[in-house]
Amino acid sequence: MQLTIEDVRKVAKLARLKLTPEEEELFVDQLGNILNYVEQLNEVDTENVLPMAHTAELTNVFRTDEPKTSIDRREALSNAPSTDGKYFLVPQILEGA
């Protein structure tokens, strides 16, 4: 499968990554190689195989609806690049963006 530079730009945009033209070229090859590698799986006949939703053969793992102590705010905010002591702060968001 041949990846195009548009594919790379789109994926980069969705991931909010800014790539240089050189990086775009590089990733066309690298991502293309990965896809080609994975494409080998298409050689397997899956005609009569049901799609798998999960690799673990487990279902119905639940917890009961019992409250646990939350962490305190200072701790919650401690890894944030910017806070006002109460909220996480982010550059202004345009509504609907």
Partner 1 sequence: MNVTTIVGLEVHVQLQTKTKIFCGCANRFNPDAPNTQVCPVCLGHPGTLPVMNKEAFDLSLITATALNCEIAEFTKWDRKQYFYPDLPKGYQISQYDLPFSKEGWLEIDGDDGNRRKIRINRAHLEEDAGKNIHDETGRGKDSQVDLNRAGTPLLEIVSEPDLRSGAEAKQYLEEMRLLLTFLDVSDCNMQEGSLRCDANVNLHLTDDAGQKIATPIVEVKNLNSFRAVEAAIDFEVQRQLKEYEKSGRKLCDPGVEKETRGWDANRNVSFAQRGKEDAADYRYFPDPDLVPVTVTKERIADVRAALPEAPATRRRRFEKELGLSTYDADVIVNQGRELASYFEEVVEVSGDGKQSANFVTQDVLREMKERGVEIGEFPVSASILGTIVKRVVDNKITTKSGREVFSALLEEADNDQEISTSRVDEMISERGLEVVSDTGALEEAVRSAIANCSSAVEDYRAGRKQAIGAIIGQVMKQAKGADAKAVRELIIQVIEETA
Minimum distance from residue 80 beta carbon to partner 1 (Å) = 9
**Interatomic CA distance for residues 21 and 5, integer angstroms:** 10
Find the length of the chain: 97
Give the DSSP H or E segment for 10. helix 5-14
Query: Binding of partner 1 at residue 78 (CB under 8 A)?
Result: no
Instruction: Candidates 1-9, 22-30, 36-44, 68-76: pick the segment binding partner 1 (CB under 8 A).
Output: 68-76
Query: Binding of partner 1 at residue 29 (CB under 8 A)?
Result: no
Query: Binding of partner 1 at residue 90 (CB under 8 A)?
Result: yes
